[in-house]
Amino acid sequence: MSTVRVRFAPSPTGYLHVGGLRTALYNYLFAKKHGGAFLLRIEDTDRTRYVEGAVENLIRTLGWAGLQFDEGPGVGGDRGPYVQSERLSLYREYAEQLIRDGHAYYAFDTAEELEAMKAEQERQKLTPKYDRRALMLTPSEIEAKRASGTPSVVRLLVPDATTVVIEDVVRGRVEFESAMIDDQVLLKSDGYPTYHLANVVDDHLMGITHVIRGEEWLSSTPKHVLLYRAFGWDLPVFAHLPLLLNPDRSKLSKRQGDVAVEDYMRKGYLPEALLNFIAFLGWNPGDEREIFSLEELVREFTLERVGKSGAVFNSEKLDSVNRQYIKTAPTPRLVEEIGARLTAHGVPVPSEQQLAGVVALMKERVTTLEEFATGCVYLFTDPAGYDEEAARKNWKPETGGWLKDLVPLLRGMEGFTATALEAVVKERAGSLGVGAGKLIHPLRLAVSGTSKGPGLFEMMELLGRDVCVRRIERALAALG
């Protein structure tokens, strides 16, 4: 087999979809496993959908995920340029070659004429296809129209009575009858190619050996095969990946949840956790293992273990995977991440030592990094208020007096440790003749403003004596 060359070829139409990230990941894994090259190509020929800044965002998101491309924008390579809008003259050249060789033709239909054609076919319950009226034009008529500047497109001339066979690594043998294939527009009137022409020309010129992409492109593949044949080029190996599905097995869409990789970045999912989760959306290693590093995925990945069936995007499973990665992530890394998130939320950032204590206290209790910054703000700043339900349940008329008497005991402690704190509180509860919970629950409310969180005494040790005493006194003033 020749040196493996694969590409991820997104359109810059906005955010990077998680399905796009899976496509990029599978291409990356396949290339690295076989010692090949992973290319990034920007397919920006549909100018009506182009979004300013989307290219930079795509590159930044791939970098966050750790999927470094070997050739592409900003990286270079000897098969560039890697942005299709910079290759327009090439597409025009190859479109004209197809016309000369009898595999394509000019068409001059207006949008109104095409709409009327479609309406008539629908009325007759025919398959919507171009009716090839442009083939009735004589060479002189075609030349006259072109000379006069009449807008034209170039269409693929699909052979009649032909079966197009695709041997797909994932789907197996797939056949398409040419009677069901439209004479696809290859070059638009504005000089830009459609996806079909640009895709095939670029894949050939860039030496792509394997085309690994989503199942939604399978129906376009017979047009691509016909183009390869028309040019006399060898076909790449095709592998069409299964659809990503919502839990109700509808196609994954933002109507039912987040689909942009940026959403998961913002929420604080670790890139390696997201990649690990996405790798299993269509592929499995053949055993019970679930946690893989990127290097392990490279070693284990094969296209033959990618299934045909749609893969359900289970957010609960992603949460579970992310929790496991947070538990084992190095503390310095989490400290840096949390500090940046606190700054973004306008929360005072404590010392690295204090942040490391927060990590130790909370990393087995959170699902995402964002929860460090939003779910336990009381570890960084005094509570702005107190949970009303918790106050009704745990702050009784006698509570204030009990906590007021506890303050001098806390101030007089020799070592403000979780173990010592627990002993003091339980001893005080015993002297009052009440269960320890009668002090623990209101004490937690006073210190954190809520009834939930990490172990009370571990939290108080982390916050320190002065902070805890100050917060108890503030609660006494607010709650009585």
CATH code of residue 456: 1.10.10.350
CATH number where 358 lies: 1.10.8
Q: Assess contact for 323 and 269: CB atoms under 8 A.
A: no
> How far is C-alpha 186 from the geometric centre of its chain's CA atoms?
30
Of residues 143, 79, 158, the one with CA closest to residue 108: 143
pLDDT of residue 256: 64
Residues 93 and 215 in one domain: yes
In the chain, what are the helix, strand and coil shares in percent, each to the nearest 5?
50, 10, 35
Instruction: Tokens 């549909």: give the residue.
Output: 46
Q: What's the CA gap between 149 and 153, in Å, rounded?
A: 12
Residues 339 and 322 in one domain: no
* Selected catalytic residue, list 251, 254, 308, 396: 254
| Structural domain harbouring 294 | 261-328
Kindly give the residue spans of alpha helices, DSSP state H, lying in 4-110. 18-33, 54-65, 88-100
Q: What's the CA gap between 463 and 416, in Å, rounded?
A: 10
Residues 336 and 479 in one domain: no
CATH number where 152 lies: 3.40.50.620
Q: What's the CA gap between 132 and 26, in Å, rounded?
A: 40
Q: What's the CA gap between 327 and 364, in Å, rounded?
A: 6
Of residues 454, 470, 479, 477, the one with CA closest to residue 407: 470
Q: Assess contact for 66 and 46: CB atoms under 8 A.
A: no
The answer to whether position 125 is within a domain reads yes
Of residues 397, 390, 379, the one with CA closest to residue 471: 379
The answer to whether position 56 is within a domain reads no
Residues 101 and 185 in one domain: yes
The secondary structure of residue 189, as a DSSP letter, is T
Residues 92 and 237 in one domain: yes
What are the tokens at 195?
């996806």
Return all residues near 425 (Cβ < 8 A) that are at least 6 apart.
Answer: 406, 436, 439, 440, 443, 457
Domain boundary among 338, 366, 381: 381
Angle value at C-alpha 84, between 216 and 240, nearest 5 degrees: 20
Of residues 457, 341, 449, 439, the one with CA closest to residue 399: 439
- Number of folded domains that form the chain: 4
Q: What's the CA gap between 116 and 112, in Å, rounded?
A: 6
Q: Assess contact for 211 and 238: CB atoms under 8 A.
A: yes
The answer to whether position 83 is within a domain reads no
Q: What's the CA gap between 188 and 207, in Å, rounded?
A: 25
Residues 345 and 299 in one domain: no
The answer to whether position 82 is within a domain reads no
Residues 227 and 278 in one domain: no
In the residue annotation, 145 being an active-site residue is answered as no
What are the tokens at 417?
């440790």
The answer to whether position 410 is within a domain reads yes
pLDDT of residue 1: 54
The answer to whether position 7 is within a domain reads no
- The amino acid sitting at 88 is L
Please list the pLDDT of the chain residue by residue as tens digits (480 residues).
Answer: 579 999 999 999 889 999 999 999 999 999 999 999 999 999 999 888 888 999 999 999 999 999 999 999 999 999 999 999 999 999 999 999 999 999 999 999 999 999 999 999 999 999 899 999 999 999 999 999 999 999 999 999 999 999 999 999 999 999 999 999 999 999 999 999 999 999 999 999 999 999 999 999 999 999 999 999 999 999 999 999 999 999 989 888 766 667 899 999 999 999 999 999 999 999 999 888 999 999 999 999 999 999 999 999 999 999 999 999 999 999 999 999 999 999 999 999 999 999 999 999 999 999 999 999 999 999 999 999 999 999 999 899 999 999 999 999 999 999 999 999 999 999 999 999 999 999 999 999 999 999 999 999 999 999 999 999 999 999 999 988
pLDDT of residue 253: 77
Instruction: Tokens 């044949």: give the residue.
Output: 229
How far, in Å, are 121, 270, 328, 429, 450 from residue 338 at the CA level?
60, 12, 15, 37, 21
In sequence order, what DSSP letters do the residues of 342-388 get, joined into one string? Answer: HHHTTPPP--HHHHHHHHHHHTTT-SSTHHHHHS-GGGTS--SS--H
CB count in 10 Å sphere of residue 313: 22
Q: What's the CA gap between 17 and 263, in Å, rounded?
A: 10
Residues 145 and 233 in one domain: yes
Q: 283 phi and psi, to 5 degrees?
A: -125, 155
Q: Assess contact for 206 and 79: CB atoms under 8 A.
A: yes
Residues 372 and 449 in one domain: no
The answer to whether position 250 is within a domain reads no
Residues 341 and 444 in one domain: no
Residues 358 and 399 in one domain: no
Residues 298 and 194 in one domain: no
Q: If you count them, how many residues does the chain have? A: 480
Angle value at C-alpha 273, between 267 and 279, nearest 5 degrees: 120
pLDDT of residue 255: 63
The answer to whether position 49 is within a domain reads no
In the chain, how many H helices and how many E strands? 20, 11
